[in-house]
């Protein structure tokens, strides 16, 4: 696999290029709008708290965690975690990211189907991610087992790809809910709409890149199985 030029030219390089492009877009948008304050003067933590409280989610805590863009919602703990910059930040970027993570809490509250499905397949996806590389390596080392191992690897990576496929609409829906709440509650004003959208759209591109890379990898595995 490591000396397969088809993999290098049509899978690895395009996937890496798309991922880098998405990260650059996110860094640019986040960097720009993290320097633009919101008229309300609210911090990301305050905006998230407002959205959650208005939705009746008063028992969902909003906590600070270290790291840059380490923000996430934990559906198991039913808690929202914001990176320090977004927890304390009073910028368009901080408000947008905080609202997006609040959108995931709203999804869980509404029993949004794709959100629940993604939660359900997390354990099997984690297993597939751990086992995939080992199975593929066994197939390479022990050539007599290769047909069986590549089939198992394909099934494992199909699970990973499915997870990425489900994640994309879940993330877009969270952003939709975020923007809806921000403007409905008056946490941002009309002239700030463009900045919020650019930050959230740039973040969504990272999920698009992850899905495309996964699909390319799965197609490559299928091509190997076909050649064998």
Rounded to 5 degrees, φ, ψ at 52 are: -65, -45
Report how many helices (DSSP H) and strands (DSSP E) the chain contains, helices first.
Answer: 8, 3
Catalytic residue among 46, 50, 101, 171: 101
Task: Please provide the DSSP assignment of 16-49 as one string.
Answer: HHHHHHHHHHHHHHHHHHTTSB-TT---HHHHHH
Place of tokens 């394909």: 154
Q: How far apart are the first and last CA of the chain?
A: 13
101 catalytic? Reply is yes
Q: Left (φ > 0), alpha (ψ -120 to 50) or beta: where does 111 sit?
A: left
What's the per-residue H, E or C state across 98-160?
Answer: HHHHHHHHHHHHCCCHHHHHHHHHHHHHHHHHHHHHHHHHHHHHCHHHHHHHHHHHHHHHHHH
The catalytic residue positions are 101
């Amino acid at each position: 696999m490591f000396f397969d030029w088809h993999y290098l030219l049509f899978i690895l390089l395009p996937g890496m290029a798309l991922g880098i492009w998405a990260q650059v877009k996110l860094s640019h948008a986040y960097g720009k709008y993290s320097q633009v304050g919101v008229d309300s003067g609210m911090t990301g933590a305050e905006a998230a708290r407002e959205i959650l409280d208005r939705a009746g989610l008063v028992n969902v805590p909003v906590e600070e965690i270290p790291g840059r863009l380490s923000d996430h919602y934990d559906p198991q703990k039913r808690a929202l975690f914001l990176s320090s910059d977004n927890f304390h930040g009073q910028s368009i970027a901080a408000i947008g990211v905080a609202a997006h993570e609040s959108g995931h809490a709203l999804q869980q509250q509404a029993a949004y189907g794709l959100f629940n499905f993604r939660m359900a397949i997390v354990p099997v996806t984690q297993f597939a991610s751990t086992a995939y590389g080992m199975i593929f390596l066994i197939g390479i080392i022990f050539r007599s087992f290769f047909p069986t191992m590549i089939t198992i690897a394909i099934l494992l990576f199909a699970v990973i790809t499915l997870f990425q496929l489900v994640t994309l609409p879940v993330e877009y829906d969270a952003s939709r809910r975020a923007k809806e709440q921000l403007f409905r509650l008056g946490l941002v004003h009309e002239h700030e709409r463009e900045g919020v959208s650019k930050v959230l759209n740039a973040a969504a591109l990272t999920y698009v890149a992850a899905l495309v890379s996964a699909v390319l990898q799965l197609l490559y595995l299928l091509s190997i199985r076909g050649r064998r």
